[in-house]
Amino acid sequence: MLQLGPLALIGLFYARRARALTRHAHPQPRWRAICFYCGLALIAGTLTGLDSASEELLYAHMIEHLLVGDLAALLIVLGLTGPPLAPLLRNKLIDRLRALSHPAIAFPLWTLDLYLWHAPALYEAALRHPGIHALEHLCFVGFGVNMWMCLLGPLPTPRWFGNLARLDDRCCANAQPAHREDEQVHRVRKHRDADCNLERARSQQQPDPRAGKNADRARDDELGH
């Protein structure tokens, strides 16, 4: 198919870059590579498995867009870090396109792309012309990756957007002292119970002085008789 060729080239570029990073003692984490290749495989499997059904059934068409434009794009972004992208970002044109990954731009672009391709004219054109259909998939993947880059990608984000992550970290940090306090209380109670059990065991092992006095008195009475 028309879309599978670029997918193969992207996979080869990623593998070559990952191999070069490994040689320079900067290996790509394995889970990221798995996510990246799973994203490419999901796109390829969706296009080959649902492409014909999506031309006839609306729900198959929407499932195809969801898998390609959202889930596969997410997996691709999870597979990316700064070092694999470094050769691309050295290109001035691509580096200037980083402005599109700004949250105030990326989210509206993703929404606009989704809206335009489901307008009746473009929707029908994509069903009739394979080239336009391929362009539709390219836009879904491209704008989906750009949108996920704002949330989970390696590119820098504006300070106001990063405050959400810092707020989440602070909430987690505030929850930790309470959890630690509960652990300390539980530990103190555990030690106190252990001390009480130890004292009880020692008291049971020590002889009762009253029992000794009673035994001596009984012995004296027997001798008196």
Q: What is the DSSP string of 148-200?
A: HHHHHSSS---HHHHHHHHHHHHHHHHHHHHHHHHHHHHHHHHHHHHHHHHHH
| 112: in domain | yes
Which pLDDT band, with edges at 50, 70 and 90, does 146 fall under? very high
| 10: in domain | yes
| 163: in domain | no
Q: Does residue 128 sit in the same domain as residue 36?
A: yes
Q: Does residue 144 sit in the same domain as residue 207?
A: no
| 167: in domain | no
Last residue of a domain, which of 157, 188, 205? 157
Q: Does residue 106 sit in the same domain as residue 184?
A: no
Question: Rounded distance, CA 79 to CA 134, Å?
Answer: 23
pLDDT (average), residues 71-96: 89
Residue (of 66, 47, 63) closest to 134 by Cα position: 47
Q: Does residue 37 sit in the same domain as residue 103?
A: yes
Q: Does residue 125 sit in the same domain as residue 219?
A: no
Q: Does residue 130 sit in the same domain as residue 24?
A: yes
How much is the pTM? 0.67
Which amino acid does the sequence have at 71? L
Q: Does residue 122 sit in the same domain as residue 13?
A: yes
Q: Does residue 53 sit in the same domain as residue 146?
A: yes
Question: Rounded distance, CA 184 to CA 182, Å?
Answer: 5
Q: Is the pLDDT of residue 169 over 50?
A: no
Q: Is the pLDDT of residue 115 over 60?
A: yes
For the segment 4-32, what is each residue's pLDDT rounded down to a tens digit? Answer: 788 889 999 999 999 999 988 888 899 99
Q: Does residue 23 sit in the same domain as residue 125?
A: yes
Domain extent, residue 204, equals 173-224
Q: Does residue 219 sit in the same domain as residue 137?
A: no
Which pLDDT band, with edges at 50, 70 and 90, does 93 fall under? confident
Q: Does residue 16 sit in the same domain as residue 59?
A: yes
Question: Rounded distance, CA 98 to CA 137, Å?
Answer: 21
| 168: in domain | no
Domain count for the chain, please give it. Answer: 2
What values do phi and psi take at 216, rounded to 5?
Answer: -65, -40
215 or 5: which leads in pLDDT: 5
Q: Are 99 and 55 in contact (CB under 8 A)?
A: no
| 162: in domain | no
Task: Please name the residue that has the structure tokens 């990954």.
Answer: 101
> For the chain, how many helices (H) and strands (E)?
11, 0
Last residue of a domain, which of 100, 126, 157? 157
Question: Rounded distance, CA 74 to CA 81, Å?
Answer: 13
